[in-house]
Every structure is written in C-alpha cells, then in structure tokens.
Amino acid sequence: MSIQAQGVTKRFGPFVALDDVSLDVRPGGLTALLGPSGGGKSTLLRVIGGLETPDSGEVRIDGRDMTRVPAHERGVGFVFQHYAAFEHLSVFRNVAFGLEIRKRPKDEIRRKVGELLELVHLEAFADRRPAQLSGGQRQRMALARALAAEPSVLLLDEPFGALDTKVRRELRAWLRRLHDEVQVTTVVVTHDQEEALEVADEVVVVNHGRVEQVGPPDELYDKPANDFVMEFLGPVTTLGGRLVRPHDVEILTERSASALPARVARLQRVGFDVRADVTTSEGEAAWVQLTRAHADALALAEGADVWLRTRG
Ligand SMILES: Nc1ncnc2c1ncn2[C@@H]1O[C@H](COP(=O)(O)OP(=O)(O)OP(=O)(O)O)[C@@H](O)[C@H]1O
C-alpha cells in the first residue's frame, strides 16, 4: 500500500522535530529513512504509524486519510530496536499472540505461525523462550510477530541497531530477501548509510526535520542534491575546493595539463584498498582511494610527485 505524508509538522514544545515534511512511499517497496541522530527519522515513522499526531499535515495510507486514526486501526506492524517480547511465553506463542487475541481458530494459528517461523528461519526455535535466543534471532521473531497481523505496512525503527556489525550485515541481506518474498510496503529507519544503500529501493535523507533528498540508492550516491547528502552517503574529500568522492579522483604519475600537481604525503593500506593522503601544490590536503593493484601498477610511493583529476 502506498504511504503519503503531506506537509507534516511536529513540534515538541518549541522544538520543531518535523518541518513541513512531504513524502510519497511507493506500494510494495522497501524505503529507508536515513539521517543523523536527532534528525527526525523516528518521529516521521511514528507519525506514519500513528504513535505521534502531527501538529499539521496529513498522513495517508493506500489513499485513506489516517491522520486521526489510532495506531491499532492503521494496519501497520512495528518493529523497534529493543523488542519487548513476552518473556514467559515461547517463541511460538509470542508470534501467535496477535492471532490468539483475535480469537482465530487454533488450526489456522498453528499453520500460520508455522509458516511465519519458517519465513524467518526460526522453525527450530518455536519452543524456546525469548531469553534463549540471540539478539538477531529475537529481531527475526519480532518481524514474524509483526507480520502475523498481516499488516499493510511494516515500520521498522533501527531494527538491527543493537546488534554487532556482522549480525547486522546478515540480517540486512535477510531482510532484503524477506521483503522480496512478502512484498509488504516497508519503511525502515536507520542512521547507517551502508545499511540504507544496501537494503532499500528508495532512500529518504532526513536532517533537521526536513527531507533533503529522495531517490534510489545509486542516484543519491552519484547525484547528491547537496553537500550534506554527499557527505552523509559516502566518503568525501575536497579537491580544487570541490567536494568529490575519493575513489573518483584519478592519480597520474605524468604531468597533465588538466590535472592538479600534488605530492603523496602518506600511503596506507586498508584491506583491498589503498588510501593516499596527498597535498596539492596549492597546499590543499586531500585523499584518494584506489585499489592495491592500481597503486602497485603506478608504483606509488610516499613523497612522489603526482597529478590529480576527477573522473567522469
Ligand atoms: N517525545 C518527545 N519529546 C520531546 N522531544 C522529542 C520527543 N521525541 C523526539 N524528540 C526530539 O525530536 C528530535 C527528533 O527525534 P527523532 O527520534 O525523530 O530523531 P531520529 O532522527 O530518529 O534520531 P535517532 O536516530 O537518534 O533516534 C530529537 O531532537 C528529539 O530529541
């Protein structure tokens, strides 16, 4: 289902958390709200879900005005960073909970919870208590529980925020596959640009209560609307006074009229990449990212004279 926010403003006392925000989320997509801490991502998600009421503006889900509709009547499923599970109930009963209170037939509940546990790869853990799950497994259980109610929209607020990097990576790939399978319109809040670029079809950059840019990951990365988006989405350096991506700077070992003269100040290997800190003849410090093979081919060394130009 589509989601639209139109002219949404939300204040907490004198503080403007959302400032006239408009947003159009396509049905069936996976959209990331990305931005720095305190920028308003969670508030926007909570306004969409009905956990906060905007001071002005409208929220529509599937074309229907939901602005004053309570959260539990919006058909949304939530997953938060810290999932409040029923610790005394099994994983199965946690997932079944929403169906049980709606008094669905036992057979149907058994079948449906079984399917959901399979979907989130927890079928072998049905009888465990939440405390016996890892952090990543708990979040998968939370997703299954949210999906049990067959929401028209899934809202995830830093769902993997409390997990370590490796588990986050795995869950991110898993969420992408899960979404491809169930295709519920999903909005996920994250402050992690890599997570947003990897998982989402569309990224909404939120900062200071405003939307800075909306677009597919590649478009945002390659054509950022402003310096903030450019810096937030990936590595940057300045060259000739302009912000550029360090991997878009070409190092030449021969003089070229179109390139800036510089000297290699420091070479540092970072895994597969080499980071070259350079100082231009104008005294500007910049850095360039290149592959190890490329650095070897150029026989780069600290103190060498080089020439720099941006690609593309
Ligand atoms: N209930 C509240 N009362 C007062 N201020 C609030 C409330 N909720 C949020 N804020 C403020 O609104 C601003 C936006 O918060 P929000 O949680 O939406 O940001 P965020 O982008 O999600 O950041 P984070 O990633 O840190 O959660 C913050 O400055 C926050 O302190």
What are the structural domains of the chain? 3-75+151-231 (3.40.50.300), 88-147 (no CATH), 237-310 (2.40.50.140)
Tokens of 194: 């890599």
Expressed in angstroms, the distance from the first to the final Cα of the chain is 39
Is pLDDT above 80 for 14? yes
pLDDT score, position 162: 77
104 confidence band (pLDDT: 50, 70, 90): confident
Which residue in this structure is represented by tokens 């589509």? 2
Question: Residues 266-303: pLDDT tens digits?
Answer: 999 988 899 999 999 999 999 999 999 999 999 999 99
Is pLDDT above 80 for 99? yes
The order of strands in the sheet holding 273-280 is 249-252, 305-310, 260-270, 273-280, 285-291
Q: Is the distance from the beta carbon of residue 48 to the nearest atom of ligand 1 less than 6 Å?
A: no
Query: Is 165 within 8 Å of 194 (Cβ atoms)?
Result: no
Name the residue with the closest Cα to ligand 1, atom 24. 37
Give mean pLDDT, residues 27-38.
95
Kind and range of the H or E run holding 139: helix 135-148
30 alpha-carbon distance from chain centroid: 10
Question: Residues 153-172: pLDDT tens digits?
Answer: 999 999 888 788 888 888 88
Is pLDDT above 80 for 209? yes
Is pLDDT above 80 for 312? no
Name the residue with the closest Cα to ligand 1, atom 28. 38
Give mean pLDDT, residues 237-248.
93
Phi, psi of 97 (to 5 degrees): -50, -50
Give mean pLDDT, residues 28-33.
96
163 against 100, higher pLDDT: 100
ipTM above 0.90, yes or no: yes
Q: Is the distance from the beta carbon of residue 40 to the nearest atom of ligand 1 less than 6 Å?
A: yes
Number of the ligand 1 atom closest to the C-alpha atom of 189: 22
pLDDT score, position 47: 97
Kind and range of the H or E run holding 238: strand 237-239
Q: Which residue from 8, 11, 12, 189 has its CB within 8 A of the most atoms of ligand 1, so it is best to mutate?
A: 12
User: What separation in Å is there between the alpha carbon of 15 and the centre of ligand 1?
Assistant: 10
Question: Residues 228-239: pLDDT tens digits?
Answer: 999 999 999 999
Name the residue with the closest Cα to ligand 1, atom 18. 40
Query: Is 126 within 8 Å of 92 (Cβ atoms)?
Result: yes
Question: Residues 114-134: pLDDT tens digits?
Answer: 999 998 889 999 999 999 998
Q: Is the distance from the beta carbon of residue 94 to the nearest atom of ligand 1 less than 6 Å?
A: no
User: What separation in Å is there between the alpha carbon of 17 and the centre of ligand 1?
Assistant: 7
Name the residue with the closest Cα to ligand 1, atom 4. 12
User: What separation in Å is there between the alpha carbon of 35 and the centre of ligand 1?
Assistant: 12
Q: What is the mean pLDDT of the chain?
A: 93
Q: Classify strands 305-310 and 260-270 as parallel, antiparallel or unpaired.
A: antiparallel
Q: Collect all residues with Cβ–Cβ distance below 8 Å to 214 and sequence separation of at least 6.
A: 23, 202, 203, 204, 205
Question: Residues 170-184: pLDDT tens digits?
Answer: 888 888 988 988 889
Lowest model confidence (mean pLDDT) among 14-28, 163-177, 245-259: 163-177
Q: Which residue from 19, 34, 42 has its CB within 8 A of the most atoms of ligand 1, so it is best to mutate?
A: 42
